[in-house]
Amino acid sequence: MQVNRREFLGTALGGAMGSMARADQQTLVPKADAMIYIWLPGGMAQTDLWDPKKFTPYTPGMKGSELLGTCERIPTSADGVFLGKGLENIASVMNKGAILRSLSSETKFGAVHLKAQYYANTGYLFPSGVKVPSIGAIVGRTLGHRNPRVPAYIYIGRDVDTSDEEKLFISEYIGPGFYAVNYAPFMIPEPAKGMATLNAYAGISMDRLDRRQKLMESLAGLGQQDLLRSQKGGDYMKVMAEARAMMDSPVKRAFEFAKDENPETIAAYQPEIAGDQLLDKSYFYGNRFGNGLLLARRLVESGARFIQVEYQYGPFKGFDMHESGQQRMVEMKKQIDRPIAQLIRDLDERGLLDRTLVVIATEFGRTIASAPAAGKEPDGFAERNTGENLVIENEKMYGFHGHFSTCSSMLFFGGGFKRGFVYGKTADRHPMEPVENPVALIDAYATIFKALGIRADTNYVTEGRPVYVTNNGKGKPVEALLG
């Protein structure tokens, strides 16, 4: 069920529209109605995953420039498209997706993950001078709800109640920015627990909840009639009623995957490695990630518009690989390969992939480290380095440890994108920068937006000026990627 934009804006589902200015008329024909954004922060080494190069096994004392790939290349279901070994499941569905291998940023983020993540999630460089919305808020606001009782923007797999400064910073850039709370994500830190506030608080029965709500309405009706007659007070009461209605929404059913799905399906979404098998046993979100993707599929079925699923970022954890990169990459592949492939297959089998866009992204790519520090931990912020001066003395140094804003890959499945297709080409030797068709992030954004039917110059006004969904409204879709 789709609510059109006019109706959506007309209802107060999102509450009072405040000082919102109308976006440009939506004139594009959407090819996708929903989007799942698989966000894998840390800086994925594209050379070991989506853009594999010649495998050069570890030999003690090898030069950095000799290290081209840490794994074999494997063929995929798409003719002539290869992935890194360890992605056999994704390889089997590669004929349903496209790889952009030449995503390139002129801004070099150096050591700073958070700035690059801010950029990747909003399309704006930090500090941007205004609280910019994340891509989920942009899509949620511009397209509105698919089902009025299902949140438009849902975020899975990130802890939020925190006083940790990095996490607080991140909470802002995955949020609605100046679009404000109406377009904030519904946060689902742990898919198995669902969304706590869609259930009555512990010890409160639904009867009591409704009695309490009625009492509030009656009280307001007695001494607060002036407020109820006002625009703001009226909106407030409407939103309280809508929140109550959402408690009976189909979205709640989506969280009950453990009960509803057969065990084989649930198993197919799980990682192929357990937390206690990892080199670093302290950091494992594999099951949460897999369940998150399963939940995402169910949310799309329920009518959600935009779902972001994160493998939770932690400095020097997950895909943020500095030491022992090769071994850790093998472990990360075992955590993402099966669940992602299962999501694509599942959506496809249910006939949802045509109208659902799945995007896989990270904040930057990786390259060879520039120089070892203290004989152990290579300097990670190399950019255009050839690896000539790096001697790989031990296996901990073997792998792709340098941050590489110059190049990374982004993947698109379904939702109007070409299938079994690769766009852009990178050098086979260091620095492995784009040699054909480099694409800027705002153009990748514009391409996603076009598939969803959103013009790149759509804008909303704050502080008396328009802020565009792609910087200055200048994003140009990469037409070659679209089917």
Partner 1 sequence: MVACSLRLTAVLLSLAPWCFAQQPAAISFTRQVRPLLEQRCGACHSPDSRTSGLDATTSASLLKGGKRGPAIVPGKPAESAVLQYVRGTREPRMPKGMAPLSDLEIQLLEAWIQAGALDDSATPAAAPAKIVAQSAPANPLNDVLFSDADQLAAIRRQVRLAYVPRPPGPPRVAGYSNPIDHFIAAKWRDANLPEFKDPPPAASDSAFLRRVYLDLIGVIPTIAEAQRFVADRSPDKRTTLIDELLARNADYAAHWTPFWEEAIASSDTGVVGGIVRHGDYRQWLFDAFLRNKPYDQMVADLIDPTSPAYLHPKPERQNGDYDVYPQFVLNSSHTETIQTAANTAQVFLGTGMKCASCHDHFLNREWPQARFLAFAGMFAAHDLEVIRCEQRSGKFVAPRFPFDLPGVPTATPADVNSRLHLLSLMLIDPTNARFSQTIVNRLWKRYLGLGLFEPADDYRADRAPSHPELLNWLAYDFMEHGYNLKHTIRLILTSRTYQLQYDPAREDHFDVSNPTQPRYYRSPSLRKLTAEQLIDSIRVAMTQTLDPRARLYLQRKSTDLTRALGRPAARNEVSTARPEDVAVVQALELMNGEEFNERVAQAPLLKENPAPDRLFWAAFSRAPSHAEHELLARAEPLADALWAMFASPGFQYIH
Residues between 87 and 126 that touch partner 1 (CB under 8 A): 110-115, 125-126
* Residues in 377-396 at the binding interface with partner 1, rule: CB under 8 A: none
Q: How far is the CB of 146 from partner 1 (least distance, A)?
A: 15
Q: Which of 61, 80, 351, 464 binds partner 1 (CB under 8 A)?
A: 464
DSSP conformational letter for 396: G
Q: How far is the CB of 122 from partner 1 (least distance, A)?
A: 11
* Residues in 188-207 at the binding interface with partner 1, rule: CB under 8 A: 196-202, 204
- Alpha-carbon Rg for the chain, nearest whole angstrom, is 23
**What's the Cα-to-Cα distance from 406 to each of 303, 318, 399, rounded to whole Å?**
37, 21, 18
Q: For tokens 């453990």, what's the residue?
A: 258
By CB under 8 A, is residue 473 in contact with partner 1?
no
Q: How far is the CB of 295 from partner 1 (least distance, A)?
A: 18
**What's the Cα-to-Cα distance from 325 to each of 45, 82, 320, 377, rounded to whole Å?**
9, 21, 9, 11
**What's the Cα-to-Cα distance from 126 to each of 131, 365, 423, 482, rounded to whole Å?**
10, 19, 28, 30
Q: Which of 237, 274, 371, 391 binds partner 1 (CB under 8 A)?
A: 237
Instruction: For residue 78, report the phi and psi dihedrals to the nearest 5 degrees.
Output: -100, 130
By CB under 8 A, is residue 9 in contact with partner 1?
no
Instruction: Identify whether 127 is preceded by a cis peptide bond (ω within 30 of 0).
Output: yes
Whether 294 and 320 have beta carbons less than 8 Å apart is answered as no
By CB under 8 A, is residue 463 in contact with partner 1?
yes
* Residues in 53-82 at the binding interface with partner 1, rule: CB under 8 A: none
By CB under 8 A, is residue 175 in contact with partner 1?
yes
Instruction: For residue 122, report the phi and psi dihedrals to the nearest 5 degrees.
Output: -120, -25
Instruction: Identify whether 191 is preceded by a cis peptide bond (ω within 30 of 0).
Output: no
Q: Which of 11, 95, 128, 386 binds partner 1 (CB under 8 A)?
A: 128
| Segment contacting partner 1 by CB under 8 A, of 50-58, 64-72, 230-238, 391-399 | 230-238
Whether 459 and 467 have beta carbons less than 8 Å apart is answered as yes
DSSP conformational letter for 482: B
Residue window 143-172: x/- pattern of binding to partner 1, with contact defined by CB under 8 A: --------x--------xxxx-xx-xx-xx
By CB under 8 A, is residue 24 in contact with partner 1?
no
* Residues in 240-259 at the binding interface with partner 1, rule: CB under 8 A: 240, 242-244, 246-247
By CB under 8 A, is residue 25 in contact with partner 1?
no
The SS3 assignment for 111 reads coil
Q: Which of 10, 60, 315, 375 binds partner 1 (CB under 8 A)?
A: 315
H-type alpha helices, 403-454 = 441-452
Q: How far is the CB of 70 from partner 1 (least distance, A)?
A: 26
Q: Which of 1, 130, 267, 279 binds partner 1 (CB under 8 A)?
A: 130
Q: State the distance between the two ends of the chain, measured CA to CA, in whole angstroms.
A: 25
Rounded Cα gap, residues 65 and 387, in angstroms: 4
- For partner 1, give the closer residue by CB, 101 or 158: 158
Q: How far is the CB of 327 from partner 1 (least distance, A)?
A: 24
- For partner 1, give the closer residue by CB, 21 or 279: 21
By CB under 8 A, is residue 279 in contact with partner 1?
no
E strand spans, 208-325: 306-310
Q: How far is the CB of 62 from partner 1 (least distance, A)?
A: 27
Helix (H) or strand (E) holding 361: strand 356-361
Q: Which of 239, 273, 274, 371 binds partner 1 (CB under 8 A)?
A: 239
What is the size of the binding site for partner 1 (CB under 8 A)?
Answer: 86
Q: Which of 4, 230, 277, 389 binds partner 1 (CB under 8 A)?
A: 230
Parallel/antiparallel/unpaired status of strands 97-103 and 82-84: unpaired
**What's the Cα-to-Cα distance from 349 to each of 94, 114, 344, 352, rounded to whole Å?**
15, 37, 9, 8
Q: How far is the CB of 36 from partner 1 (least distance, A)?
A: 20
Q: How far is the CB of 377 from partner 1 (least distance, A)?
A: 12
By CB under 8 A, is residue 374 in contact with partner 1?
no
Q: For tokens 């390139």, what's the residue?
A: 104
Q: How far is the CB of 448 from partner 1 (least distance, A)?
A: 22
- For partner 1, give the closer residue by CB, 352 or 461: 461
The SS3 assignment for 99 reads strand
